[in-house]
Amino acid sequence: MELKKLLVPLWRHLRFWKEQWMFWDRKILPWDRLTPYVMLTLSFVGIAFMYSIQQSDGGHKWKAQILWLCLGFAVYYVTAKIPYHWFSVRAHFFYAGSVVLLLLLWTPLGRRIGGSRRWLHLGITFQPSDVCKLATLLFIASTLMRNRLKTFREALSTVCFILFVGACSFFLIFLQPDLGSAMVIPLIVFGLLFVSRLTLKFFFGLLLLFMIALTLIVCDTRGYYCRLQQQPSRLKPFLPLKDYQRNRILAFAVPTAIDPGGVKVGWHRKQSLIAVGSGGLFGKGWRHNTQARLGFLPKAASLDDFIFSVLAEETGLCGSCFILVLYALLVFADLRVALMARDRLGCYLCVGVGLLMMSHVWINVGMTLGLMPITGLPAPFLSYGGSFLLTCCFAQGLVQSVYRFRRTDGWAKG
């Protein structure tokens, strides 16, 4: 009898993994071809312009990006072959692991570069914030799928828990400090809450919280500006922002007040606008950029944060619009799969990944055009960076998994 109690759970476990292997080996599940084609096109364009930026100094980061791309597509393929419910069941482990990685930044394993603790060295150097954004998305989508949100009372505890999860991720990333990555978290949280069809009471409350946060940032920045100008004011800087972050906000909101000549905090913004504007309609031609090659835009920043500026300078308005169309197709593909998903979890995952891609594109392109503060956020598949590329491939792999398993039973929920 005791032996039977031991063997039955073991047999169920072995049968579960046998079923997983059978579904892994099946060839009949279709693939969405649009997404990988767009991903490859954006990645190859990014590598081509990395080569263009580094041609004068003999840099080899474009070669490293090719290796990261190969690894990233391996991650994409494996993720797409695994049913997305498998990740949902273990979402709390992924989220807890991402929080631990963020906390490790404050240990000797964390690397301080440029005044920020954003990089963690565990054999390889990567940014835990990239992992945290995706883990937060997965955890919130899983939470929304498991809870009913029909009435105000049923939804209150779930929404409070989701806001707590999002706030933990936001503040841990914000304290590095990494304002750009932190800004992505609220967009994902509010976007997923919106598609979950909550009552309007919640969104009026969220709008009120947003207005309060914006007011606090304005008051803090105003107090900092008065201190710089040595003007008497009752307002004092009180938020945990670095002075260079306040300078970037001022350079965006009132560029002539903080840096009239554009030679200090507004330097990158000014040179990026020069690069974009000098490209004209058709650009100067590949490998004929001047702002990055002559050092007006630092080459390190040109490879990730300002690679769109280099692309606009070399290909002009036509090339820039082509890249934006590719990004629009990528987000469209994510939302299309969300409409085709067989359950709420698949819909939430696809919408969250689409929001993740869209927010990165919006902030990155916006800051190169002077429409957003400079926050140092890379463009998906276009910018240099291994951890972010792997994160994007994993995210799109989840969408592909939703597409492939949209007509199968939920066999992998255990």
Q: 281-334, pLDDT tens digit by residue?
A: 888 888 888 887 777 777 667 777 888 988 999 998 999 999 999 999 999 999
One DSSP character per residue, 140-172 reads HHHHHHHS--SSHHHHHHHHHHHHHHHHHHHHH
Describe the chain by its helix, strand, coil percentages, rounded to 5: 70, 5, 30
Do 265 and 251 contact (CB within 8 A), yes or no? yes
Do 113 and 151 contact (CB within 8 A), yes or no? no
Residue 111 DSSP symbol:
E
Say how far apart CA 243 and CA 248 lie, in whole Å. 9
The torsion defined by the Cα of 365, 369, 370 and 372, in degrees rounded to 10, comes to -20
pLDDT > 70? residue 264: no
Task: Report the candidate in 96, 83, 79 with the shortest Cα–Cα distance to residue 35.
Answer: 79
Check residue 412 and give its pLDDT: 42
Residue 391 DSSP symbol:
H
* Per-residue pLDDT band at 350 (split at 50, 70, 90): very high
Check residue 1 and give its pLDDT: 52
Segment 115-125, tens digit of pLDDT: 677 888 877 78
Percent of the chain with pLDDT over 70: 83
Segment 195-253, tens digit of pLDDT: 887 777 777 877 888 788 888 887 887 777 777 776 766 677 777 777 777 777 777 77
Query: Which residues, 6+ apart, have CB-to-CB distance to 262 below 8 Å?
Result: 255, 269, 270
Domains of the chain, residue spans: 39-81+266-408
Residue 147 dihedral angles phi and psi, to the nearest 5°: -125, 145
Residue 89 dihedral angles phi and psi, to the nearest 5°: -60, -30
Segment 48-66, tens digit of pLDDT: 988 888 876 767 888 889 9
| Chain Cα centroid distance, residue 158 | 24
